[in-house]
Amino acid sequence: MKISRLFDRFFTGIAPEAAYARACHLLERGEHARGFAMLGQMARDGMPQAQFRVAQAYLDGTGTPLSISEGARWLRHAAEAGHAQSCFTLGVLMLLDIPCIDDPAAAVLPGSCGPDAAAPHDPVAATRWVGRAAEAGLVEAQALYGYLLANGPEEVRDDAAARHWSTIAAGAGCAQGYLGLGLARLETDTAAAISALRHAAQEGLGSACYVLGMLHESGRGGEVDLGAAARMYALAAEQDIRPACARYGMALLRGRGVARDIMRAETWLRRAGLRGDLEAALVVGDLHARGLAEMASDHEAVSWYRRAAMGGHADGCRMMALMCMAGRGIPAPDPHAAAHWLRQAAACGDDAALTDLAAILDRNAEHPAPDADARAGTEQRTLADGFARAARNGDPVGAFNYAKCLLDGFGRAPDPAQAARWMHEAARAGVVNAQYWYGRMLLRGQGVTADPAMARQWIDDAARSGMADAQVAAAQMRITGVGGTRDHAGALSLYHLAADQDHVDAMFSLGAMYGGGHEVPPDRRQAQQWFEKAAGRGNALAQLMMGRYLGRGLAGVTDIAAARNWLRRAQAQGVAQAGEELGRLPPMAPAAAEGMHAAT
């Protein structure tokens, strides 16, 4: 050991370049501590390349404890001396926003750098350091500099300079240079941009494949080519480009440009979700919640929804609330946990979550937790106060929510007149729910003088905006002639719009209209189809109608067993006529009756 140390001193004492070569040789042989010690002396003596290698050692934790701040300090010393690789690495470090992960004893080399030499996240300064490396001729720096000038902070952007540096890097055969050139030219010369991106993709650059995939999918620069988009996304996903994993997963899920394959779709979406793609995590949760995943599990659904929710995804918070309300993936329904997630959804910008939260808190007030009476009442008042403040500050959604509080007596004494005032404010501002509710209040004379014609106008506004409940209400007003003329054809169209949104009452109403007695051509086969859709979703009257249709063969098909089944289901929901219809059916064969009795 003593001989080796003397050898190190010998090299240190003769020529700096020889000493540097000796230190690098030691590092390559795995003698990291000895190599680092020699480099440290040269770094303190001001050798830029030694300072760069010392910085690398600190950043990698090689021969010394890991220290981001010490690595940054030595990089700055070398960069300020004009060392191109140090300028580039320091710039990259400033871009990455790496948290300071330091060992308390990391500063092995004392007294060399002041406390201000660390590299905070600073994209503007990062661009300057990368620019210095680019001017020194470092090709990878030229490529990154071109990209930053095109896509970095507003104060450093320079499209002409971006094209210049990307062209230089591409001319040197740098794939990243072609990528930067392609991105820089996207807005001005799509054909040239695609050509440059293809060069980068042929070099195997995943980011270029991803951008080409987006261009093929959107049709920019040519026709939409979903097959080419899927192929590009697949290549990029194989290189772990996170958004490509998500897009390839969605292509597989929807069968867009590639054969539909839910199992492979889940694999890629999982990969994207695990790497922080919140939308992908939400979709994986949906696959499990809807039973589409290969091994669907409510527990898995909750874990993925929670991942999205914890990342600040409002829909993830809302889905967590729904799972908690239904008791899916958790031991039992938990309205209080659901309220927590709705608060999170509201904090993430989902204004509609406040209304749902109000409904849950109202329900919790009827069935509170053992020690939650006072808390629930206080929370309702606090929520109502928040809605009131928002309404008075001109927030139309706040005005709608406050009106609902006043209408329902939530956190406030019921006040229909004030509710009508705020509901009108929100409706005038274009809040669709408020238009629908204000129309209902005008129809009933609730807090305002009844005005069916005006009610119909407001409900029509909400229906035109796509609200299914409003479409059903507008259709019913057209059938009855309330607030205007009768219009059965218009009602039929509105019911179809609502049924397309899975509105069960609209499905039943379509069955009734096609069944006859309305001013539209009867079509009993279509009527039975709509009754069956509504019956399958639990509509008791539709179940009664299915029993009638199948028992009497009204649409050309008679099925007594199925008719009896539908009528029994309607009877179980309290439909009195179902018993009468059952009595009209022919008696069951003895064997079938015995089988039913045994099953019962």
The CA distance from 114 to 209, in Å, is 44
Q: Are residues 473 and 414 in the same domain?
A: yes
- Do 487 and 395 reside in the same domain of the chain? yes
As a dihedral over the C-alpha atoms of residue 428, residue 431, residue 434, residue 439, rounded to 10 degrees, the angle is 60
Residue found by looking up tokens 């709509």 in the block: 530
93 CB-side CA count, 13 A: 29
Rounded alpha-carbon distances, angstroms, from residue 578 to 189, 306, 544, 563, 565: 70, 45, 6, 10, 11
What does the pLDDT read at residue 10? 40
Please indicate, yes or no, if residue 246 is contained in any of the structural domains: no
Residue 592 inside a domain? The answer is no
Structure tokens given for 503: 């509105």
Nearest-angstrom CA–CA distance, 598 and 600:
5
Two structure tokens written together for 100 = 């300071």
Burial-class residue 32 by CB neighbours within 10 Å (0-12, 13-18, 19+): middle
| 145-184: b (≥16 Cβ within 10 Å) or e | bbbbbbebeeebeeeebbbbbbbbbbeeebbbbbbbbbbb
Low-confidence ranges of the chain (pLDDT < 70): 1-16, 96-120, 175, 178, 181, 184-188, 221, 349, 351-352, 354-380, 588-600
Q: Closest Cα to residue 258, out of 273, 247, 242, 269?
A: 247
What are the pLDDT digits (tens) for 406-440? 988 877 889 999 999 999 999 999 989 899 999 99
pLDDT (0 to 100) of residue 363 = 57
Q: What share of the chain is helix, strand, coil (3-state, %, to 5)?
A: 70, 0, 30
> Model confidence over 133-144: pLDDT tens digits?
888 888 778 777
Q: Which of 142, 175, 203 is the last residue of a domain?
A: 203
What b/e readout covers 253-281, taking b as 16+ CB neighbours within 10 angstroms? beeebbeeeeebbbbbbbbbbeeebbbbb
Do 398 and 491 share a domain, yes or no? yes
Q: Report the greatest alpha carbon distance in the chain.
A: 113
Q: Is position 433 within any domain? A: yes
Task: With H, G, I as helix, E, B as strand and everything else as coil, classify residue 102.
Answer: strand
- What is the tally of structural domains in the chain? 4
Please say which residue of 50, 81, 112 terminates a domain: 81
Q: Residue 554: inside a domain, yes or no? A: no
pLDDT at residue 32, rounded to an integer = 76
Q: Are 546 and 535 in contact (CB under 8 A)?
A: yes
What tokens does 413 get?
A: 């004494």
Q: Is residue 314 part of a domain?
A: yes
- 414: tokens are 């019921």
303-309 CB contacts, 8 Å cutoff, 24+ apart: 303/329, 304/273, 305/281, 307/273, 307/278, 307/281, 308/273, 308/278, 308/279, 308/281, 308/282, 309/341, 309/344
Look up tokens 């008042």; give the residue: 381
| Long-range pairs for 393-399: beta carbons < 8 A, 24 or more residues apart | 396/425, 396/426, 396/429, 396/430, 396/431, 396/434, 397/351, 397/354, 397/426, 397/431, 399/423, 399/425, 399/426, 399/429, 399/431, 399/434
For the domain that residue 150 is a member of, what is the CATH number?
1.25.40
Q: Confirm whether 336 is domain-assigned.
A: yes
Radius of gyration of the chain (CA): 35
Report whether 134 contacts 128 (CB < 8 A). no
Tokens representing 461?
A: 């506004």
Owning domain of residue 129: 123-203
Q: Is residue 459 part of a domain?
A: yes
The answer to whether residues 340 and 435 belong to one domain is no
Looking up residue 496, the CATH number of its domain turns out to be 1.25.40.10
Q: Taking the chain, what is the end-to-end CA distance rounded to the nearest angstrom?
A: 90
pLDDT at 401: 83
CA atoms within a 13 Å half-sphere pointing along the CA-CB vector of 305? 29
Quick check: is 90 in a domain?
no
State the pLDDT at residue 185: 66
Encoding tokens for residue 552? Answer: 């009497």
Same domain membership, residue 76 and residue 20:
yes
**237 in Cβ contact with 244 (< 8 Å):** yes
